[in-house]
A and B are shown apart, each in its own frame.
Chain A
Amino acid sequence: AQTVTQSQPEMSVQEAETVTLSCTYDTSESDYYLFWYKQPPSRQMILVIRQEAYKQQNATENRFSVNFQKAAKSFSLKISDSQLGDAAMYFCAYRSSFYGGSQGNLIFGKGTKLSVKP
């Protein structure tokens, strides 16, 4: 079974600086998707960034980028120029690419709580 591990329960970053959140996963599949979701306090979870395993190029979305290391099964999230609004719980998630059965569901890590200091 696939697992996702986020080893940093909490992180802190100074406003305008860069922070990297770690995520590792375990799978025997060769094709899959990886996601970072963000849940601000008392608000709903939103997708930050998505990476297809078959793509070697790292995904980027504005100030958010990932470092996807398939061989190492690592998928870290880098937030550049951190803003106060980035303070949230960040969840790393895995999903198989095969349709049918249980493959539609997301497998989550425990999350990393990010604080941004002004």
Chain B
Amino acid sequence: EAGVTQFPSHSVIEKGQTVTLRCDPISGHDNLYWYRRVMGKEIKFLLHFVKESKQDESGMPNNRFLAERTGGTYSTLKVQPAELEDSGVYFCASSQVPEGTQYFGPGTRLLVL
């Protein structure tokens, strides 16, 4: 069974540009989470999808971040326009049920110059 995959693995962009991160959860997992780890700090929750619906987006830092999960399969996280402080590692995780184990993807390392 394939695990959670994320694309790209790395992205280097300039301030003001747009970047879109993609996450493919484990097949059949209705719950999809996005997290972010800024250098030297904790991994922070961004948002939680249940199928295509946003269950909780309380961790989204501001309106430059837009997450979608059309069709309830893969999800994208778009940052527009990117700022220097958006640099970090963006993790995606999925679980079958909210109380189930969350399986993580390898992360996308984003560097904004």
Residues of A within 8 A of B (CB): 4, 33, 37, 43-47, 50, 91, 97, 99-111
How many chain B residues touch A (CB < 8 A): the figure is 28
Interface pair B41/A104, CB less than 8 Å apart? no
Interface pair B31/A104, CB less than 8 Å apart? yes
Chain A residues, CB < 8 A from B74: none
Please give me the residue from chain A that is nearest to B41 by CB atom: A110
Interface pair A104/B104, CB less than 8 Å apart? no
Chain B residues, CB < 8 A from A101: 55-56
Kindly state the separation between the CA atoms of A107 and B44 in the bound complex, as whole angstroms: 7
Interface pair B106/A104, CB less than 8 Å apart? no
Chain A residues, CB < 8 A from B48: 102, 104-105
CB of B42 within 8 A of chain A?
Answer: yes
Chain B residues, CB < 8 A from A33: 99
The one of B40, B43, B56, B91 in contact with A104, judged by C-beta atoms closer than 8 angstroms, is: B56
Interface pair A50/B58, CB less than 8 Å apart? no
Interface pair A44/B33, CB less than 8 Å apart? no
Q: A45-B91, A99-B98, A101-B56 are in contact. Are A106 and B107 (CB under 8 A)?
A: no
Interface pair B43/A91, CB less than 8 Å apart? yes
Q: Mark B26-70, 1 if CB is under 8 A from A, else 0.
A: 000001010100001111110010000001101100000000000
Kindly state the separation between the CA atoms of A110 and B39 in the bound complex, as whole angstroms: 10
